[in-house]
Structure 1
Amino acid sequence: MNFNEMDDMTLWSSLIEGNLRALEILYKRHYALLLNYGLKFCQDIELTKDCIQDVFVKLHKSKELSQAVSPRAYLLRALRNTLYDNLLLSKETTSLDEFAFHISESHDLFEQLFLKNDEDMQLSKQLLKALSSLPSNQKTILYLRFVKELSHKEIAEIMNINVQSSMNLVSRALIKLRSLMKNDSLMIVFLLKAGII
């Protein structure tokens, strides 16, 4: 049985049956995604790495794992919750509202969407400014939907909302982004480059 060729759902089923090789493959397959995602909430790379380890240690010790809708979404949500718990314990944040999603100019979103010419860099700076002024949940959902290309079902699981709420939140975030950019041609370029339209 070649675990490297198994899809996430098959690996998850093997993990439920107690197969630690499946856990190892899930870890290797999703580590970079989890680290990147965790650093959007917490700029402490060591804490983020520790929290990723904690998520997988809990999976290893868990006696009653159930089938996940999406193992990737499950892992992202588990990391988010673990980071929040750790930050709350260290008194770095006091509420979910303070647990902000950060987007920086070096963010991979801009590397994916824009070439490095002057016009595109200007657009990316305007987009960064607009994104920075969005509420945290709207930044998070745009990141999950268009950068990580998660389905609304996966996003709903991560953010602990229903699928319709995920669709509504994406729509509201794009409307807000359009109004913040105040230039429909810039928004159209963004949507085209992001593969949204």
Structure 2
Amino acid sequence: MYTDLSNIKTLVQELEKGNHQALVFLMNTYHHQLCLYAYSLSNDFDGAKDIVQNVFVKIWEDKHKLQHVKSIKSFLYKSVYNGFIDQWRKDKKMLAIEQKHFEALEDIVKNENADVLKKQLSLVKLEIQRLPPKCKETFLLSKQEGLTNIEIANFMNVSIRTVEAQMNKAFRILRKKLQNKIKPMLFLLFGINFHVES
């Protein structure tokens, strides 16, 4: 007996019954466009595929709840968006943990000679200002403003890979310029305190 899965009501009913062909039909119909949507949010193609994959897994696990869904397409897009937000929150959480680590290191550094550290932080600030324009902007958005790579990519309208490349470039230049001039620990404190008072 032929089942018309293009009919949304029928598709949902077949999913609720546990019909794997219904899930395959749903993925074949929406997978590509959902990946493009997720990518437009994250600028991370692999991450986008993971988000979409998780959405389809969750739909299958919660298939008995689909009877209340009015538009399967809207439901899918909303699920992808929610998946992106969840990932973004995880990134922010990681950033908070990283920040705590930096703050602990800063407390250790404060026990060093204040004048020496002040001069070294001035050198750091100077070399940051000398970075190439796009490189400097990316670096400051990350280490001074505390933005995630996703946020920076969206703000600057570039890909996350571009953000990562600019950050790597910034650290490479700064290490080369400062490696013999400042304490190694200060490299871990970039973005914590380079507003050096005059």
Query: Is the structural similarity TM-score above 0.5?
Result: no
Greater Rg by CA: 2
TM-score bracket for this pair, using the shorter chain length: 0.3 to 0.5
> Which structure's residues are more often helix, by fraction?
2
TM-score norm. by structure 1 comes to: 0.44
